[in-house]
Amino acid sequence: MNSAEFLLWVRGPGLNIALAIFLIGMLIRLLEIFMLGRKQNLAELRANGVSAGLRTIFSRSTPADKNSMRHSMFTFIAGYGFHIGLFVVIFLLTPHIQLIQSLLGFGWPALPTPVVDLFTVIALISLMALLWRRLTHPVVRYLSTPQDYLVWAATFVPLLTGYMSYHHLWFPYSWLLGMHILSVEFLLIIFPFTKLTHAFTLFISRWYTGMMAGEKGVAS
Amino acid sequence: MSNNKPLGQALREQGVSRRGFLKFCATTASLMALPPSMVPAIAKALESARRPSVIWLSFQECTGCTESLTRSHAPTLEGLIFDNISLDYHHTLQAASGEAAEAAREAAMEENKGKYLLVVDGSIPLGNPGYSTIAGISNLEMLEEVAEHAAAIIAVGTCAAYGGLPHANPNPTGAVSVEEIIKDKPIVNVPGCPPIPVVITGVLAHFLTFGKLPELDHLGRPLSFYGNNIHDRCYRRPFYDKGLFANTFDDEGAKKGWCLYKLGCKGPVTYNACATIKWNDGTSFPIEAGHGCLGCSEPNFWDMGGFYNALSESTMDLSKSAAVGIAAGAAAGAASGLLNRRKKSQAAAAHETVTVKDLTREEPS
């Protein structure tokens, strides 16, 4: 198989397989959660939970308070650095938007590539720092499961191969681009079956927490 | 054609000045990324080179490669050098035909056994030998016969190098490239649809100067010509980096000469010299003319997912697998959810209330 055949496979059949598995898996996961059902709330509502739910989705993205932020400054900076970097790379790079547009029929403006490049570096450094912490911090290391390392690698490799493709590092570009797409396909396939699902479920749980608190009339 | 005249003399007879000849040598040296000190060596080697015997086999091809090399524009040095290599057999260009043509090929093979260069354009059909024959000889048979005693093989054009257009899905003739058949000879791929004329003369000049073939990349192409990425060398690259794109062929972006990535330009995965050497005596190249690169010097370029679809888009229609995924996922998710609910209600129904009577107290013994 030469680089062109490889690229052809990952852009066609590979992407089809990965997308189908991702959609099937995610729908199973989400429907299972939604169909669990909750016990009927017999108490009189103090307030409408909707606005509190919506607010909580966003408010939980900001640091809770100064003390805990100061206490875990490292995780705070690396965690935000990684997530913001990853978001920018996925959703604000022209080729990515072009792919989404071909799938969904609509797109949005992109950032200049050198800016996206900077965010890639931020995300890569943050991820490496977080892995270093995971390996050196005794408690975090003890709590880590093989899955934690798997999802770390599955997230790191697409970023790395994407960066290498853009800068034409070490390998011919077509191989790099093929590896980049293949690594994303691997990420898509394991996504629904690992803790990567948090990218979707966190909004559900935040909404639920906020809504419950709102209905009871307490802060969330 | 006789083999006796050195190349230098033959060129002078055609009216090429010494200055023009040296200019060609210098250009060739710089194109092949050789130091300027190599120019005299190239000139000397080419000057005194006895024209190598060349057998040119045309299989499943459109003659575009020959057209590109012989008629690109007014006679050039590349063209003349090409004309002056001893083309013992080229069924488009030679005067002889039929039996006489085949006799010329056989004579050349016999005379220059182990020394002649074999140039191939076009792919070789493996599906049925009858798809393409010359003088009743199948392409496969002829290639194997001529390749056996060739010094080296130059696969000219994407069809000979990678299968090209005949190889495109669904490949009805079972077309393959030269390197898929011949495994024991040095092969240089000079792909392109067609390749740039100077690239083939460059490869020939290299062979004549150094007596060996140039350094090749992972797809068997001379690195000196195919080492550069079109996207990296494209004069529209700054627009890509700034995020300025033409969205249609007649919008403001297209008029301003912005990047053609969204219109399907395959420059990022294409390695060729178009953006640097350009075509028609350095006049222009496809992107400069306002059309995206098709990636014609890459294997399978015909199947790269549509010439007008961006490189990052899928080569297949994803909507079907997305629909199947959503339907299957929804069904499986609903089934799993219902199963969980049943389990829950079964657990609730099986729940037994514990009363005080059920509790026993274990006396410490």
Answer whether 0.80 is exceeded by the pTM.
no
The residue of chain A with its CA nearest to that of B229 is: A173
- Cis previous bond, A158, omega within 30: no
Kind of pairing between the strands at B124-125 and B175-176 = antiparallel
Of A12, A34, A172, the CB nearest to B316: A12
User: Which residues share a beta bridge with B134?
Assistant: B137
> Does residue B304 belong to the interface with chain A, where contact is any CB pair within 8 Å?
yes
CA separation for the pair B204, B216 (Å, rounded)? 14
Q: Is B295 left (phi over 0), alpha (psi -120 to 50) or beta?
A: left
**Nearest-CA distance B303 → chain A (Å):** 8
Closest residue by Cα to residue A178 from A197, A195, A188, A165? A165
Of B298, B322, B329, the CB nearest to A4: B298
**Nearest-CA distance A128 → chain B (Å):** 27
Contacts (Cβ under 8 Å, ≥6 apart) of A66: none
Identify the pLDDT of residue B321: 84
Closest residue by Cα to residue B82 from B250, B201, B221, B2? B201
Closest residue by Cα to residue A162 from A72, A96, A63? A96
Identify the pLDDT of residue B80: 56
8 Å CB contact of B312 and A172: no
Taking only the tens of pLDDT, chain B with its 365 residues reads 444 567 777 777 767 777 877 777 777 777 676 777 777 777 777 766 666 778 888 888 898 888 877 765 545 555 556 566 667 777 777 777 777 777 778 777 888 888 888 889 899 998 888 888 888 888 888 888 888 888 888 898 999 999 889 888 888 888 898 888 888 888 889 898 888 877 777 777 777 777 778 888 888 888 888 888 898 889 998 898 888 889 899 999 889 989 999 898 988 888 888 888 888 777 888 998 889 899 898 888 888 878 888 888 887 788 888 888 888 888 988 898 899 888 888 988 888 888 887 777 777 76
| Segment holding B124, helix H or strand E | strand B124-125
Chain A residues in contact with B305 (beta carbon < 8 A): 8, 11-12
Tokens of B75: 């006679």
ipTM above 0.95, yes or no: no
H helical segments located in B256-318:
274-277
Identify the pLDDT of residue A118: 93
- Cis previous bond, B170, omega within 30: yes
Chain A contacts in chain B segment 47-106 (CB below 8 A): none
Chain A residues in contact with B347 (beta carbon < 8 A): none
Identify the pLDDT of residue A83: 92
Of A29, A99, A112, the CB nearest to B242: A112
Residue A161 has pLDDT above 90, yes or no: yes
Residue B294, amino acid: L
Task: Read off φ and ψ for residue A177, nearest 5 degrees.
Answer: -65, -40
How many residue pairs from chains A and B have C-beta atoms closer than 8 A? 147
Chain B residues in contact with A167 (beta carbon < 8 A): none
Residue A120, amino acid: T
Average pLDDT, chain A: 87
Q: DSSP per residue over A119-162, as a string?
A: HHHHHHHHHHHHHHHHHH-HHHHHH--HHHHHHHHHHHHHHHHH
Identify the pLDDT of residue B1: 42
> pLDDT tens-digit profile of A25-57?
999 999 888 888 777 878 888 878 888 888 888
CA separation for the pair A166, A176 (Å, rounded)? 9
Q: Dihedral sign, CA of B321, B326, B329, B335? A: negative
Distances (CA, A) of A16 to A21, B266, B333: 9, 21, 20
